[in-house]
Amino acid sequence: MTQLDDRPATTTSSAAEKTAGIDTAWLGDYLLGQWADARRHARGLVARPEFQRVDDLSLAEQRERTFGQLKLLVEEGAVHRAFPKSLGGDDDHGGNIASFEEIVLADPSLQIKSGVQWGLFAAAVLHLGTERHHARLLPDILDLTTPGAFAMTETGHGSDVAAIGTTATYDEKTEEFVIHTPFRAAWKDYLGNAAQHGRAAVVFAQLITKGVNHGVHAFYLPIRDDKGFLPGVGGEDDGLKGGLNGIDNGRLHFDHVRVPREDLLNRYGDVAADGTYTSSIASPGRRFFTMIGTLVQGRVSLDGASVVSSKLALYIAITYGSQRRQFTAAKPTEEEVILDYQRHQRRLLPRLATTYAMSFAHEKLLTAFDGVFSGARATDADREDLETLAAALKPLSTWAALDILQEAREACGGAGFLAENRLTQLRADLDVYVTFEGDNNVLLQLVAKRLLTDFSRKFAKADAGALAGYVASQVGSAAVHRFGLRQLAQNVADFGSTARSVGYVRDTDSQRQLLTDRVQTMVASLAGRLRNANKLSPADAADLFNANQNELIEAARAHGQLLQWEAFTEALAEVEDAETLKVLTWLRDLFGLGLIEKNLAWYLINGRLSGQRALAITDYIDDRLLPRLRPHALDLVEAFGFVPGQVRATIASGVEKERQQEAAEYYSALRASGDAPVDEKSLTAKR
């Protein structure tokens, strides 16, 4: 069987591992995007050991190390970027977020703790406060003289911020606000910097003056000095967490703590000395959403950090999978490279496609964010779009990052479980990204509500009959509506022609049509079912919404996926190198067809795909896309542009290849020596 060793490489052979292929240098720059310089600068910091996580520190040591790293960031001048030039900043909002996203490569604790200090605490003073607060408070906050907490969430209220229990009651006699925690559920909770390092906090509370509750407002409040909590302030340590243990999360509560009237962060609402409340925003609802709108910054950066982490995970798993060998199948003396196994490709390559899609979609999100925060594109509609986009993408990317980190860890076997290979710790740290800065399930419901609003606006001028007809045609019995009938014809036309089916599904316009149609139909269907909700009693309306809650969330997810697909598709338009374009188009197809494959039942039930075309999708992925992409897998992760100081995973360092080589040489020399023991199996076979 020696001739087998010399047979030409097949598509599944590791000999095809590397081809002339794609322009990784260009692609690397392209992936870094508009704020490439900020990203490169941050990656430079990441590669320095003093910014990196150290394993097996105690909780106290981790917290001290991370706090020390915050000081180093100040020394490096790496924290002022987003702030006004008057405060030593650059007014560079996109670059600031881009830079912090990359910090996740050093240690997610550092990313999030700096996010608490500058992205939440300082940003709240900047965006919710006015000139008097900026000048007085921000210099000390920016240089970390005043570490602080962002005291919004309470034990009893996370997602429903409007319902928090902490009160700030104005006392006209002393011209002070009395900050008070009326019951245990109103303790502030999960606050970074609260357990240990925080000296002050931005506290969110119900502003009450002259017997009226004007809703949630933010107050600046010193909480601690060298000796501990200030009078009236108490708290508790949240203790060890599932990850992010470099951050000292804790609880705070207040017993009639008095703060001067001027320490209300009064940009959107103010109280005069006599207790009169004024606001530039008349609607309490809109005022509330405007104030918490600054939170979008956190969602944007979690989306970006999830992209960076997913890139790292796949860099590690695909590098290792291209070197690791296990089981002999084709050749008696050479084991297969595990990335040559179909299953291994099925596990990693669709996730690579998702990561590219997330990366391009994030660039669009960051651009929108920069537009709003720089003021360049900052109409109400721009703000609303930004919030919806962030609410759609953050859930998808944070969940995807956990999924990708986990699959990468499993694809590396036992080695993936070792801390030295980083995947488990990153996953543990990123776990909470799916529920903080907006619980993913809650965010997707916000997106669904926006989709429904847009839908009803679209049909606002149409008469009720037209709307009803549209809805009926979209959402009527799957067996009879017009799409169903149209696709029945497709079924017959395709009969026996797999090639025609494949041609259909891989076409860009077909993918767009299928993905768009699903979102539109789901939204129309929901709109139809919910259209009478405002005529019902609150209880019945709540029941009706609740009976459709799962599908609302699925519609929002489908919308987010479509946005990712569109971002990937738009990104293809910028690619000039033919080979790079070809490979990225395959990768985009893998992403798009993967989405359709995941929801195949929907397409079949609703008559959008025939069984023939549905089968063609899976076959096309398995038989064409995966084998075609396999030889480019290494290039596609090389393009992420990581250097060893950013990767820091032993198994992705080349040691596996060295070990394989050493073993192969040992066996080869042994065979050549003539001293190799005979395999009992071969004796048995000969007998």
**Please, which of residues 132-161 interact with its own copies by CB under 8 A?**
153, 155-160
Q: Which residues between 554 and 613 bind its own copies (CB under 8 A)?
A: 597, 600-601, 604-607, 610-612
- Shortest distance in whole angstroms from residue 292 CB to its own copies: 15
- Shortest distance in whole angstroms from residue 226 CB to its own copies: 25
- Please say which residue, 314 or 412, places its beta carbon nearer to its own copies: 412
Q: Is 319 in the site for its own copies (CB under 8 A)?
A: no
- Please say which residue, 574 or 675, places its beta carbon nearer to its own copies: 675
Q: How far apart are CA 263 and CA 401, in angstroms?
A: 40
Q: Is 282 in the site for its own copies (CB under 8 A)?
A: yes
Q: Is 15 in the site for its own copies (CB under 8 A)?
A: no
Residue 437 known to be catalytic: yes
How many residues contact its own copies, by CB under 8 A? 128
Q: Tokens standing for 210?
A: 């002259």
Q: Of 338, 248, 386, whose CA–CA distance to 14 is shortest?
A: 338
Q: What is the dihedral of CA 527, 528, 533, 536, to 10 degrees?
A: 180
Q: Which residues between 418 and 437 bind its own copies (CB under 8 A)?
A: 418-420, 423-425, 427-428, 431-432, 434-436
- Shortest distance in whole angstroms from residue 60 CB to its own copies: 9
3-state SS class at 296: helix
- Please say which residue, 289 or 341, places its beta carbon nearer to its own copies: 341
Q: Is 407 in the site for its own copies (CB under 8 A)?
A: no
* Cβ–Cβ < 8 Å for 313, 107: no
Q: Is 672 in the site for its own copies (CB under 8 A)?
A: no
Which span sits near its own copies by CB under 8 A: 293-301, 315-323, 454-462, 539-547? 539-547
Q: Which residues between 639 and 658 bind its own copies (CB under 8 A)?
A: 658
User: Per-residue b/e over 440-477, b at no fewer than 16 CB within 10 Å?
Assistant: beebbbbbbebbbeebeeebeeeeeeebeebbeebbee
Angle, helices 549-572/440-458, rounded to nearest 10 degrees: 80
Q: Which residues between 31 and 50 bind its own copies (CB under 8 A)?
A: none
Give the contact letters, 240-269, x = binds to its own copies (CB under 8 A), - = no: xxxx--------------------------
Question: Catalytic pick from 176, 437, 638, 656?
Answer: 437
**Residues 6+ positions from 120 with CB-CB distance below 8 Å:** 150, 192, 202, 298
Q: Is 476 in the site for its own copies (CB under 8 A)?
A: no
Q: Which residues between 197 and 216 bind its own copies (CB under 8 A)?
A: 206, 208, 211-215
DSSP per residue over 453-481, as a string?
Answer: HHHHHHTSSS-HHHHHHHHHHHHS-TTTS
Pairing of strands 167-171, 200-209: parallel
- Please say which residue, 87 or 541, places its beta carbon nearer to its own copies: 541
- Please say which residue, 343 or 457, places its beta carbon nearer to its own copies: 343
Q: Which residues between 329 and 348 bind its own copies (CB under 8 A)?
A: 329-332, 335-336, 340-343, 346
The sign one gets for the Cα dihedral 170, 173, 178, 183 is negative
Residue corresponding to tokens 């076997």: 413
- Please say which residue, 24 or 440, places its beta carbon nearer to its own copies: 440
Give the contact letters, 53-82, x = binds to its own copies (CB under 8 A), - = no: --xx-xx-----------------------
- Shortest distance in whole angstroms from residue 624 CB to its own copies: 11
Q: What is the dihedral of CA 102, 107, 109, 114, to 10 degrees?
A: -40
Q: Is 678 in the site for its own copies (CB under 8 A)?
A: yes
Q: Is 163 in the site for its own copies (CB under 8 A)?
A: yes
Q: Tokens standing for 13?
A: 């052979």
> E strands along 135-211, which residues?
148-151, 167-171, 176-180, 188-191, 200-209
Q: Tokens standing for 562?
A: 């479509």
Catalytic residue positions, numbered: 437
